[in-house]
Amino acid sequence: MPAHPPRTALVTGSAGFIGYHVAARLLEAGWRVVGLDSLDPYYDPGLKRARHAMLADDPGFRPVTGRLEDAGHLADLFAAHRPGLVVHLAAQAGVRHSIDAPRAYVGANMTGTFELLEAARAHPPAHMLLASSSSVYGANTRMPYAETDPADTQMSLYAATKKAGEAMAHAYAHLYRLPVTMFRFFTVYGPWGRPDMAYFKFTRAILEGRPIDVYNHGEMRRDFTYIDDLVDGIMGLAGAVPGAVPVSARDSLSPAAPFRIVNIGNNAPVRLMDFIAAIEAATGRRAEKRMQPMQPGDVPATWADTGLLRDLTGLVPTVATEEGVRRFVDWYRQYYRA
């Protein structure tokens, strides 16, 4: 048996929002995909099962139900399938939920990532792509955020566990020469999205005629990233394996390991009130807004410097906010018959 069966990818979190879209794109490109997901009830498992069911229509997809942090589970998957590409997206998500349920974050995001790295050490893939988050930039006020900026002031346990995952991955990349690309996501949205995200809640409330809570009195800016642009970035980075030579002066390539960090964002922060206005336009309804103070652990703005992503892949975001919101609202109305 060859070390890596032809074009076999392991996608963790394959029933999640981003994982589903990445797995679907890999299948379209001819990859055999092993999809691991725990179908955790943090949000509607029915939505997760629906995503997996669509992926299962492709004979190249093999769904596996299990938790990252279960000792030996990932090792068994690596031994059985020998993936050449790993896209690690599974995590306990949500900044505010990490205040209420911190153990879930330590388990999934830290212990789970450790189990993944141990499995990769035993059966090294050609490239590992691991998801981090823009939240690791924390209290940084210099914008746009560049991958080489300090990221030592996390504002939530969620962000801290993501930063810990980056540090663990760098250590394994150094010790075992595992090629690792970490990507930091910036507020991803689109069809089949997560119901706990603000844009999803806003759309549901507006269509149901209920008020929406607008935090920090609307004085928020986010680098909203449409899902197709994000997946384009991930697919482009899959072939950009970290080597020994930086690709440009802004490369975050480690001097000690085949490891780099890459922002995937829109490079164009949008005012929260403008994003809500786009939802109002797409739904044809006005929102009743209840202004609220800033929530614990949150930050007022995010903004990605995406120059390194462009250097590595040539990609720039193509989907405008108004168009991305319209596509999401169209999907929402169809899926929920709203």
Tokens of 148: 């080489």
- Are both 86 and 148 inside the same structural domain? yes
* Mean pLDDT in residue range 26-33: 97
Both 74 and 36 in one domain: the answer is yes
| Strands 180-185 and 61-65, sheet pairing | unpaired
In this structure, what CATH number is given to the domain that contains residue 172?
3.40.50.720
Mean pLDDT, range 78-95, rounded to an integer = 96
pLDDT at 30: 96
Assess whether 164 and 42 both reside in one domain.
yes
More confident residue, 88 or 5: 88
CB neighbour list of residue 22: distance below 8 Å, 6 or more residues apart:
11, 14, 87, 89, 231, 234, 235
Q: Are residues 289 and 158 in the same domain?
A: no
pLDDT average, residue stretch 166-180:
98
Question: Do 142 and 275 belong together in one domain?
Answer: no
| pLDDT 10s digits, 97-137 | 999 999 999 999 999 999 999 999 999 999 999 999 999 99
Query: What whole-number distance in Å separates Cα of residue 162 and Cα of residue 113?
Result: 10
pLDDT, tens only, 288-322: 999 999 988 788 889 999 999 999 999 999 999 99
- CATH code where residue 332 lies: 3.90.25.10
Element (H or E) spanning 86, and its range?
strand 85-88
User: What is the SS3 assignment for 243-285?
Assistant: CCCCCCCCCCCCCCCCEEEEEECCCCCEEHHHHHHHHHHHHCC
Shared domain check, 105 and 80: yes
In a domain, 3, yes or no: no
Q: Same domain for 45 and 150?
A: yes
Average confidence score pLDDT of the chain? 95
Assess whether 294 and 245 both reside in one domain: no
Residue with tokens 């490369």: 251
**Out of 105, 137, 145, 158, which one is annotated catalytic?**
158
Tell me: do 24 and 166 sit in the same domain: yes
The string of DSSP letters for 137-201 reads GTT--SSSB-TTS-----SSHHHHHHHHHHHHHHHHHHHH---EEEEEE--EE-TT--TTSHHHH
Q: What is the pLDDT of residue 6?
A: 60
189 an active-site residue? no
Q: How far, in Å, CA of 321 to CA of 186, rounded?
A: 14
Number of domains in the chain: 2
Structure tokens at 295: 């929530």
158 phi and psi angles, rounded to 5 deg: -55, -50
Structural domain contains residue 324:
yes
Which letter does DSSP use for residue 119 in this model? H
Backbone angles phi, psi at 263, to 5 degrees: -75, 140
pLDDT band at 1 (very low <50, low <70, confident <90, very high): very low
What distance in Å separates the CA atoms of residue 88 and residue 59, rounded to the nearest whole number? 22
Whether 1 is covered by a domain: the verdict is no
Instruction: Report the DSSP pairing between strands 259-264 and 127-133.
Output: unpaired
Residue whose pair of structure tokens reads 């975050």 in the numeric block: 252
Q: How many CA atoms lie within 13 A of 151 on its CB side?
A: 25
Please give the residue range of the domain that contains residue 39: 8-188+227-264
